Amino acid sequence: SQKIEQNSEALNIQEGKTATLTCNYTNYSPAYLQWYRQDPGRGPVFLLLIRENEKEKRKERLKVTFDTTLKQSLFHITASQPADSATYLCALGGNAGNMLTFGGGTRLMVKP
Amino acid sequence: GAVVSQHPSRVICKSGTSVKIECRSLDFQATTMFWYRQFPKQSLMLMATSNEGSKATYEQGVEKDKFLINHASLTLSTLTVTSAHPEDSSFYICSARDLAGGGDTQYFGPGTRLTVL
């Protein structure tokens, strides 16, 4: 069965360090992968989309990699700030209907 | 950027009543909207895909007679939870695809917290 795995344990890092979050998937061939940020009691906010033919994408302090051989995406936040503390969700898409399938999310805590 | 609103943001109702949640795309047209539910500390689970002018497509295990979806215009989709019960208490979130932006990005509403007593 299809599975998307994100580390369910919270990631605690010090302000200024680089946070790296992992998204692994099995039994899936997505055309693209997206990363979202979700704050408590709020809807997800779109951050980045990376397509299957792209290796890496950057946006300000964010960087996403996509390895279709390893079936893995890495999400990096450089020079992390306490305001980056949130839950980060990866989502795979590109199947019929362009539906997104979400991972369970990883909670990031950046300490000052 | 594309903005999606939901109303109400929070609703508390008695068991057996019906609750309607609205999802609007404010600055773009959305032929397709999606409805998700999210339980505490869990991920978003797709309930149904709402298509403007046609019937919604429901995911396996989601009762279409329980969760009525109407997508009457390119900017509005509604989800009605009929005869709500405590187990329907959840966080309901809608999203919409911005076709002008390529169609692959979904923009999410802020969510509706439903509590059924």
**Which residue of A59, A99, A106, A107 is the best one to mutate when testing the B interface, meaning the one whose CB has the most B CBs within 10 A?**
A99
User: For residue A99, what pLDDT is reported?
Assistant: 78
Q: Which two tokens stand for residue A53?
A: 């033919």
Strands A101-102 and A3-6: unpaired
* CB nearest A99 (choices: B49, B107, B109): B49
> What's the rounded mean pLDDT across residues A52-76?
95
Q: Is B54 on the interface with A (CB under 8 A)?
A: no
Sheet with B76-81: strands ordered across: B4-7, B19-25, B76-81, B67-73
**Closest CA in chain A for residue B41:** A104
Confidence check: pLDDT of A95 > 80: no
Verify whether the Cβ–Cβ distance B104 to A49 is below 8 Å.
yes
Strands A11-14, A106-111: pairing is: parallel
Q: How confident is the model at residue A60 (pLDDT cuts 50, 70, 90)?
A: very high
Give the C-alpha separation, B106 to A73, whole Å: 19
Mean pLDDT of A55-76: 96
Half-sphere CA count of A2, side-chain side, radius 13 A: 11
Task: Enumerate the residues of chain A whose CB falls inside 8 A of the CB of residue B45.
Answer: 102
Q: What is the per-residue pLDDT across B67-113, written as a single tens digit (0 to 9) for each?
A: 999 988 889 999 999 999 999 999 999 999 876 655 677 899 999 99
pLDDT digit string (tens) for B24-52?
999 888 888 999 999 888 889 999 998 88
pLDDT at B102: 59
Q: Do A49 and B57 touch (CB under 8 A)?
A: no
Report pLDDT for A40: 92
